[in-house]
Amino acid sequence: MSYKDQIDKIRLPQHVAIIMDGNGRWAKERKKDRSYGHQYGAEKVREVTEAAAEIGLKYLTVYAFSTENWNRPDEEVTALMALMIYYIEKETPDLIKNNVRLTAIGDLSRIPEDARKRLEQCMDDTSVCTGLTLVLALSYSSRWEISRAVKNIASDVKDNKLKAEDIDDKVIDRYLMTADMPDPDLLIRTGGETRISNFLLWQLSYAELYFTPEYWPDFGKENLYKAIVDYQSRERRFGKTSEQL
């Protein structure tokens, strides 16, 4: 029996987040350069997005490019940006066909202007879609996002738009880039590493964590379904006891 057939559609996670790790190591094992791994990794985004849409997930967030990735060699950054925009534009018709809305979080101001405009066009083209929302975390880091939220909160307190004593976790939620979506229920990280690497630190507070040794280019539909089956086997208590659930 496939993992897809084992999924309880009534208990699906609303939001799955993925750290797509291992493209470079996958390519190195095949004696190829890193861009070869990134090309295969981009294809897997399409496959996993289709898998998520097929079972009815509402949100899928993929960590595509971190603020720390700007420190990589210039040629790799340039190739990554070109590859991402190429695949986004290439897949836009299928996203629309599959009723998938594309959006992005992160410091998009750092993305080259041409690439940013093309990304914005793809987001605009899919804005009418009402099925799965695919969220690209681009030029993103959680510390940057939280710092940005704190600055905006401080500015609104100074301008008397917000009272300091009213600040709580719900207020902070509203100032994050994910304000219009539920927090992730499940985080998946490929590539064998067991850390969350400055990704959605606030939002992952109660997420289930799933680490898998497969490199991202080897991660496909059944791997996603396996992670969801594992998620559904866990007891989510949110601080309560089993007896209280």
* Tens of pLDDT, residues 56-103: 999 999 999 888 888 888 888 888 888 888 888 999 999 999 999 999
Condensed to tens digits (0 to 9), the pLDDT of residues 21-37 reads: 999 999 999 999 888 89
Condensed to tens digits (0 to 9), the pLDDT of residues 128-186 reads: 999 999 999 999 999 999 999 999 999 999 999 999 999 999 999 999 999 999 999 99
Give the residue ranges of the annotated binding site: 21-26, 34, 38, 66-68, 70, 72, 189, 195-197, 208
* Domain range list for the chain: 11-230
pLDDT of residue 243: 53
> What is the rounded average pLDDT of the residues 223-232?
98
pLDDT of residue 160: 97
What one-character-per-residue DSSP string does 198-213 give? TSSTTTTTT-EEEE-S
Contact 69, 77 (CB under 8 A): yes
Per the DSSP assignment, residues forming a β-bridge with 19 are: 63, 189
Q: pTM here?
A: 0.94
Contact 106, 137 (CB under 8 A): yes
Give the residue ranges of the annotated binding site for substrate: 22-26, 34, 38, 66-68, 70, 72, 189, 195-197
What is the CATH number assigned to the segment(s) 11-230?
3.40.1180.10
Catalytic residues, by residue number, are 21, 69
Instruction: Answer yes or no: is pLDDT of 237 > 80.
Output: no
Instruction: Answer yes or no: is pLDDT of 238 > 80.
Output: no
Q: Which two tokens stand for residue 53?
A: 């849409």
Find where tokens 């004593």 sit. Answer: 165
Give the residue ranges of the annotated binding site for Mg(2+): 21, 208
pLDDT of residue 240: 57
pLDDT band at 1 (very low <50, low <70, confident <90, very high): confident
Tally of helices (H runs) and strands (E runs) in the chain: 8, 6
